[in-house]
Amino acid sequence: MSPSPTRAGVVALRVIRQLKRDRRTIGLIVFAPIVLMVLFGYALSGDMSGVALGLVDGGGHDALRDHIESVKDFNILHLGSESDAEKLIGEGRLDGAVVLLPDGVRVLLDASSLQIAGAIAAAVQAGAVAESAVKQTAAPQQGAESSAKSQIVTRYIFGYDLEMMDTVGPAILGLVVFFFTFINAAIAFIRERSQGTLEKFMVSPLSRVEMISGYVLGFSLFTVLQSATTLFVVTSGFGVPLHGSSLTALLVVLILGAGALVLGCFFSNFARSEFQVVQFIPLIITPQIVLCGIWWPLQSVPEIIRPFSYMLPLTYAAHALRAVMLKGAGIGDILYPDLLALGLFFLIFFALATMMLRRDVD
Amino acid sequence: MHPAISARGVVKSFGRQRVLDGLTVDIPSGVTYCLLGSNGSGKTTFIRTVVRLLHLDGGEMNVLDTPVSEVDGIYSKIGYMTQHKALYPDLTVEENMQFYAGLYGIGGQRREKKIGELLAMVDLSGHRSRLAGALSGGMYQRLSLACTLIHEPELLLLDEPTVGVDPRLRQTFWEYFGRLTEEGKTVLITTHLMDEAEKCQRMGYMRAGRMAAEGSPEEILRLAGLLPRLMLWLAQPDSDAALLRREGYEAEVSGGIVIVRLESHARIKEILALVSPLDMRLAEPRLEEAFLLLSEGA
């Protein structure tokens, strides 16, 4: 029997009807991401402590340099040239930079975070005052000359405000969808088994491929709902930019959600109850949270376990979502490797889940 | 007519335990067939091999003239009701039925007509929009049966369908099964309720993975050595009993009543030609006694 879209549709309609009636799950799907976001948002938007400041020391301003290095809130990164500093600010890795040259001081500031820019500018001013005081004591007759030398030029650069939420936000969108779809799917399949409906499907014209496809279709509707709310909170609530198309972001999330669903179906074979599904969280979800580059770059994951990071779907989803939201990437830009990897993950577990459904009954 | 299910030396083991141990049986088309046996005798396992949820370890089986290995191709002709009921508690009565109708490609007017008819049969017409999970045990059972019948299967496999159903409704079920067999459909039922078994046209008694006894209710009783008894109140019991014995009947006198064992009901007429009783009563043997005898004589 060839797979029929009608029968998959019948399953999808049923899944939607069931989920629609399950108010608690609906609430969880829609509101849990919001709560999570608010939590992460406030925890991660810590503005003032840890301002990343680049410092290019071309000589001639030792007192100013010492003053800046003594500011507690600054994390100083020593750089070789002004263009390096400019680039890093543009990428959002630095909040600003101070370039000290014998003939002047140049301050590069990130225009998108004026509060931090103000703090940096104030520190440089204070340092300059301290420096001229030192110089006047050492050689009073050269006073006028030296103040001309330490003229401060300020330049604004458009990077984006590197609140941690910006990099984490898009990835969390993926995490939330992955987490809820995985858990809900695993529980749904456990129920199919304990209710005896799975056994009944096996003795009906409905094939396993149609059944799982129906689930993917039905769940996708809720994935869209969930991503839309999460996306809304991330962008309007926390000001994370959305430079690319929200449809592209949704596409990434849908493929990720489909992968989470078949993974949930596959793992439901190893659980006997809903309770045991919950026990999968530390095993399936936690490694993804830790290793997929949500909180810190993949480059900081030890090389020995980095290949494992590249086996996790959330790694690709987080990367693709960041590219779409922060850099305005289109489908073409994220096709390889992100969408390809997500698609492959889905197909592999679709096949495994289909095979396992049969083995269970036999 | 070909049998609906024909099994020859069927074997199915779980580990070392042979749950079906060379089972051979023909289940004719167009009858209600009762599969009896104590718990663990292999009834459910047999049904699961028929629908290929379990693969045979040995023997041969044909289902609706199809080798059991190809039974997946004729699933739309089979209705299977498991002991688990297989319903979605979070869908309404009607939605459950619509879902199963959809799986078999039944839609539109035909679907609505069939749902109405079946809900009336299982006496749930007034509960269409109730959640299945809110139904009582018996109602849940009835809905499960209705869902199994939605696609008008040729072969119905019902695993303990009447557990928790009240006697009046059970009667309705049996009448419905009767109508189905008149249309040429086959109904295979497992049960351990003897009074239900008596309503079947044929039955099989399973013991230790084999058919211990198989046939119509009369044949089963005869196999167990149980015959109907005719009790006669006669004016001269002793001499009449002697007369009947001379004619080859098994007759005895007990408390002034002559008791004759009947090989068939047709013999009553012949007996009445020999003697003229003042009163008489027919005592049918009960299947329950037969199965007790059969299971003891293992």
Phi and psi torsions of B263, nearest 5°: -75, -30
Interface A-B, measured as beta-carbon pairs within 8 A, has a size of 71
Confidence of residue A75 (pLDDT cuts 50, 70, 90): confident
For A60: left if phi > 0, alpha if psi spans -120 to 50, otherwise beta; the answer is left
Whether residue A167 has pLDDT greater than 80: no
In A, minimum Cα distance to B55 occurs at A362
Confidence of residue B228 (pLDDT cuts 50, 70, 90): confident
Q: What is the pLDDT of residue B286?
A: 82
Confidence of residue A2 (pLDDT cuts 50, 70, 90): low
Residue predicted with more confidence, A121 or B234:
B234
Which chain A residues are closer than 8 Å to B94 by Cβ? none
Lowest mean pLDDT among A277-286, A347-356, B178-187: A277-286
E strands of chain B, at which residues?
A: 3-14, 17-28, 32-36, 58-63, 66-67, 78-81, 155-159, 186-190, 202-207, 210-215, 229-233, 250-254, 257-261, 279-283
Q: Are B186 and B215 in contact (CB under 8 A)?
A: no
Q: What angle do CA A12, A343, A198 make, to 5 degrees?
A: 35
Q: What is the mean pLDDT of residues A152-166?
A: 66
Task: Identify the DSSP state of A73.
Answer: T
pLDDT tens track for B44-78:
999 999 999 999 999 999 999 999 999 999 999 99
Residue predicted with more confidence, B11 or B267:
B11
Q: Is A206 on the interface with B (CB under 8 A)?
A: yes
Q: Which of A4, A199, A205 sits opposite B82 (nearest CB)?
A: A199
- The torsion angle over the Cα atoms of residues A114, A115, A120 and A124, rounded to 10 degrees, is 90
Whether residue A146 has pLDDT greater than 60: no
Contact B53 A13 (CB under 8 A): no
- Report percent pLDDT > 70 for chain A: 86
Q: What is the mean pLDDT of residues A42-48?
A: 57
Residues in chain B: 298
In A, minimum Cα distance to B90 occurs at A18
* Strands of B3-14's sheet in order across: B17-28, B3-14, B58-63, B66-67
Can you state the angle between helices A340-361 and A246-268, rounded to 10 degrees? 30
Contact B80 A6 (CB under 8 A): no
Confidence of residue A300 (pLDDT cuts 50, 70, 90): low
Q: What is the mean pLDDT of residues B142-159?
A: 94
Name the minimum distance, in Å, from the CA of A1 to any CA of chain B.
Answer: 7
Residue predicted with more confidence, B81 or B292:
B81
Q: What is the pLDDT of residue A362?
A: 45
Q: What angle do CA A117, A120, A122 make, to 5 degrees?
A: 105
E strands of A111-207, at which residues?
A: 152-157
Cis omega before residue B161 (within 30°)? no
Q: Is A87 on the interface with B (CB under 8 A)?
A: no
Confidence of residue A258 (pLDDT cuts 50, 70, 90): very high
Residue type for position B154: E
Lowest mean pLDDT among A205-209, B71-75, B119-123, B171-175: B171-175
Q: What is the pLDDT of residue A63?
A: 84
Q: What is the pLDDT of residue A148?
A: 43
Name the minimum distance, in Å, from the CA of B57 to any CA of chain A.
Answer: 12
Q: What is the mean pLDDT of residues A204-230?
A: 91
Q: Is A358 on the interface with B (CB under 8 A)?
A: no
pLDDT tens track for B22-45:
999 999 999 999 998 888 889 999
Residue predicted with more confidence, A33 or A335:
A335
Mean pLDDT, all residues of chain A: 82
Integer distance in angstroms from the first to the last C-alpha of chain A? 20
The residues, any chain, with a CB within 8 Å of residue B207's CB and separated by 6 or more, are B37, B38, B41, B294, B295, B298
Give the ipTM: 0.80
The residues, any chain, with a CB within 8 Å of residue A35's CB and separated by 6 or more, are none
Phi and psi torsions of A110, nearest 5°: -85, 115
Contact B55 A362 (CB under 8 A): yes
Q: What is the mean pLDDT of residues A3-19?
A: 88
Confidence of residue A172 (pLDDT cuts 50, 70, 90): confident
Q: Which of B102, B97, B74 is nearest to B87 (CA)?
A: B97
Q: What is the pLDDT of residue A257?
A: 94
Q: What is the pLDDT of residue A240?
A: 82
Q: What is the pLDDT of residue A149?
A: 46
Which chain A residues are closer than 8 Å to B73 by Cβ? 1
Q: Are A248 and A45 in contact (CB under 8 A)?
A: no
Chain A interface disruption, residue of B13, B70, B75, B143, most A CBs within 10 A: B75
Which chain B residues are closer than 8 Å to A22 by Cβ? 90
Contact A18 B88 (CB under 8 A): yes
Which chain B residues are closer than 8 Å to A18 by Cβ? 88, 90-91
Q: What is the pLDDT of residue B207?
A: 86
Chain B interface disruption, residue of A191, A200, A209, A210, most B CBs within 10 A: A200
Which chain A residues are closer than 8 Å to B85 by Cβ? 195-196
Q: What is the pLDDT of residue B298?
A: 46
Q: Is A22 on the interface with B (CB under 8 A)?
A: yes
Interface list for A 209-268 with B (CB within 8 A): none
Q: What angle do CA B206, B207, B212 make, to 5 degrees?
A: 65
Q: What is the mean pLDDT of residues A163-188?
A: 85
Q: Which of A98, A75, A76, A74 is nearest to A86 (CA)?
A: A98
